[in-house]
């Protein structure tokens, strides 16, 4: 059973993404002036994964297996760096560990809550429906794009390899069966940061730092290696570049910019 904290898309619910999940964008036939803003209009990825579909079809998603090198091999310098980062993360303060635990929650609006103070406005109170749907659909695309590499490599997660548990013990059984490389949580956090930096460039530095820290929380949680998070940011950036040419994304981005301007940003 999937944890309600992650809704399945990044922790095993889409392990067969290449065979079954879809992110088909709305048909351009009869496309209105403004994109849909409700999950009912957009549709969900699947009954088991009730997240709004992304903007891209599966065939349009970046190929994470082609984009990324294999995960670090045992005995390599890169693997030694992963081990060093894992060891250093054990010294995180209780406050940082608590933040990492909070960052594990991919539910909406929990996932956006730590970004809202940095942007300077609520992104989840219903006053900015296009901004909200823009973020949610873009994150769905980025998360799904990670699964070709995840499914291929099936890298073992740090808590499973090294012992010692994680910050979300209730999720550990599902995570043992979900590849560690690249990090799906990191793709979500980095995509969130990239979209918000595009919407509110005056806040970009702080937003991008939060996006980076969101991914690093997975190292502190002992559920990802550092190289998993690096790979996650690569996949998110590739997805962000790919979605720029989607007309529905373009229209929703323009509508979100108007919402931000109305909020004085």
Active site residues: 185, 218, 224, 228
Q: Tell me the DSSP string of 93-146.
A: -HHHHHHHHHHT--STTHHHHTTHHHHTS-SSSSS-HHHHHHHHHHHHHHHHHT
Q: Which helix (H) or strand (E) holds 187?
A: helix 184-199
Yes or no: say if 35 and 138 are a contact pair by the CB < 8 Å rule: no
Yes or no: say if 67 and 39 are a contact pair by the CB < 8 Å rule: no
Angle, vertex CA 218, rays to CA 215 and CA 224, nearest 5: 110
Would you call 33 helix, strand, or coil by DSSP?
A: coil
Provide the residue count of the chain: 265
User: If 0-12 CB within 10 Å is exposed, 13-18 middle and 19+ buried, where does residue 96 land?
Assistant: middle
What are the helix and strand counts (H, E) for the chain? 14, 2
């Amino acid at each position: 059973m999937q944890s309600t904290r992650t809704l399945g898309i990044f922790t095993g619910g889409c392990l067969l993404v290449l065979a079954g999940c879809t992110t088909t964008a709305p048909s351009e036939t009869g496309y209105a002036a403004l994109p849909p803003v409700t999950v009912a209009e957009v549709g969900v990825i699947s009954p088991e994964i009730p997240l709004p579909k992304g903007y891209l079809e599966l065939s349009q998603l970046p190929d994470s297996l082609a984009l990324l090198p294999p995960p670090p091999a045992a005995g390599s310098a890169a693997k030694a760096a992963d081990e060093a980062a894992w060891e250093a993360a054990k010294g995180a303060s209780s406050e940082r560990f608590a933040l990492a635990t909070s960052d594990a929650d991919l539910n909406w609006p929990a996932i956006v809550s730590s970004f809202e103070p940095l942007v300077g406005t609520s992104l989840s109170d219903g006053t900015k429906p296009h901004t909200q749907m823009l973020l949610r659909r873009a994150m769905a695309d980025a998360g799904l794009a990670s699964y070709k590499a995840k499914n291929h490599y099936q890298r073992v997660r740090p808590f499973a390899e090294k012992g010692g548990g994680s910050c979300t013990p209730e999720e550990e059984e599902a995570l043992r069966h979900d590849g560690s490389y690249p990090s799906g949580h990191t793709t979500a956090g980095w995509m969130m940061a990239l979209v918000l930096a595009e919407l509110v460039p005056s806040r970009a530095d702080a937003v991008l730092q939060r996006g980076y820290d969101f991914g690093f929380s997975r190292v502190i949680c002992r559920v990802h290696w550092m190289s998993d998070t690096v790979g996650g940011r690569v996949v998110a950036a590739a997805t962000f570049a790919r979605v720029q040419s989607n007309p529905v994304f373009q229209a929703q981005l323009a509508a979100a910019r108007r919402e931000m301007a109305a909020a004085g940003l």
